[in-house]
Structure 1
């Protein structure tokens, strides 16, 4: 049965940003006949501006773990009448890979995915863009909010200052340092040898925080077992790929890929 026969999509949000970033994607796929969902993480179901007002003393969010976020999405997916297509971005891409590994998806698309456990992210740009969320020199009881300067480097490099500021105000929210650390542990484990439903990994050649080379190693970690596995690198994409003017080209490619698989 092709994944395209499944008419439900669950979008999985990454770290640092509001789930509202999926709204244009939801509208795009709903216009193609899909039913779509983009559930917020626990303790993030509020507008970005409101969540920023809670910084840094949102103790519930600060205590949130990656395991809890993954289970939150797993339970949501299990509540649906059919296995959905799962599409995730960044840490949401990692969560997508985990949920595919758990046999909870009809197909999976991991966009600029944080790599699973065992794939060492040694790229300098990754370390520069992402180390602060680990909270190595600060309290885990306080949340982390990416500064505009960090947002410009990690997400919106190459964009105009006006667009960088606008995207920051619309999307950026506090993050749990505990979740960030979880990406280094067993919660992020994927069995690369296990057969799986069709899985597409995408990357962008301008992405600083999840560079294409890291996505390539993620893709190559999977072992050939007859499962559909594809990789696509898009030119000109930074980590704000979901909101760049080119996002419809990415969505078009994903839709065509789903139709093929």
Structure 2
């Protein structure tokens, strides 16, 4: 059984978004690694005030390669769990034959999965971000990321977690640049796709469409929907259920 979990954060965030998952998994006896993306290895205040200039040119391939090198250096294949763009990175790593099992939570879509209207609307400000560092406004975060949070919590969460992101990754995902999966020929490990029923960034219909495509792979592919959850489902009320479902399924299906 795999005893190591690699947690992959998504756009606009840092590894601190995984603190609750990390503590819960470590208490269960797992070794947990939550690496930052390239250009994200600084305190949140520094990332906001002085983003690394290289961030403007950071693409998905570099992010996936960065995580692949980390996974390949481990003594045994780990469980891969990603959220948002981190979920897409996890799928691309699995497609390379890495990992013992994978969970993609509210994942950005791979090539061939069309973004649904709510996702397009939420992502609209990012579509002119090639070679730019983008900032997510508090209004956009409140509407597209965490609309199910109580109003009093939204400002606190935004200030604690949200940082600039590379605009290139949004354009690449929209046009399917570097996000194609091999489908029937993939030797990937088992994969669970998780969606939040109220998610406006990765709507459940989009995650279901991804599930249908991923089922072409010969290994196990599963889907789970959490009712009443937004894109912030890894940290909003009931996050424990998401954490336990992800790890429990992955441990059960580890190849």
Does the Cα contact within 8 Å between 1:112 and 1:239 map onto a contact in 2? yes
TM-score (norm. length: structure 1):
0.92
Task: Determine if the alignment matches structure 1 residue 129 to structure 2 residue 122.
Answer: yes
Q: Structure 1 unaligned runs (5+)?
A: none
Residue 230 of structure 1 aligns to a residue whose secondary structure is strand
Task: Determine if the alignment matches structure 1 residue 102 to structure 2 residue 96.
Answer: yes
Alignment of 1:236-251 (within 5 A): 236-251=228-243
> Alpha carbons of 1:225 and 1:165: their partners in 2 closer, same or farther (altered >3 Å)?
closer
Residue 178 of structure 2 aligns to a residue whose secondary structure is helix
Equivalent position of 2:182 in the other structure: 191
TM-score (norm. length: structure 2):
0.94
Does the Cα contact within 8 Å between 1:110 and 1:200 map onto a contact in 2? yes
1:77 corresponds to which of 68, 71, 81: 71
Does the Cα contact within 8 Å between 1:87 and 1:109 map onto a contact in 2? yes
Equivalent position of 2:3 in the other structure: 7
Residue 134 of structure 2 aligns to a residue whose secondary structure is coil
Equivalent position of 1:29 in the other structure: 25
Equivalent position of 1:254 in the other structure: 246
Between the aligned partners of 1:225 and 1:82, the Cα distance in structure 2 is 23
1:151 corresponds to which of 106, 118, 141: 141
Q: Structure 2 unaligned runs (5+)?
A: none
Residue 158 of structure 2 aligns to a residue whose secondary structure is helix
Does the Cα contact within 8 Å between 1:59 and 1:141 map onto a contact in 2? no
Q: CA deviation at 1:222?
A: 2.3
Instruction: Count the aligned residue pairs.
Output: 251
Task: Determine if the alignment matches structure 1 residue 177 to structure 2 residue 173.
Answer: no
Please say which of residues 141-150 and 198-207 is displaced more in the overlay. Answer: 141-150
> Alpha carbons of 1:210 and 1:82: their partners in 2 closer, same or farther (altered >3 Å)?
same
Q: CA RMSD in A?
A: 1.4
Residue 100 of structure 1 aligns to a residue whose secondary structure is helix
Does the Cα contact within 8 Å between 2:183 and 2:216 map onto a contact in 1? no
Give deviations 1:12-42, integer Å, cap 9, x for gaps: 1111112110111111111111101010011
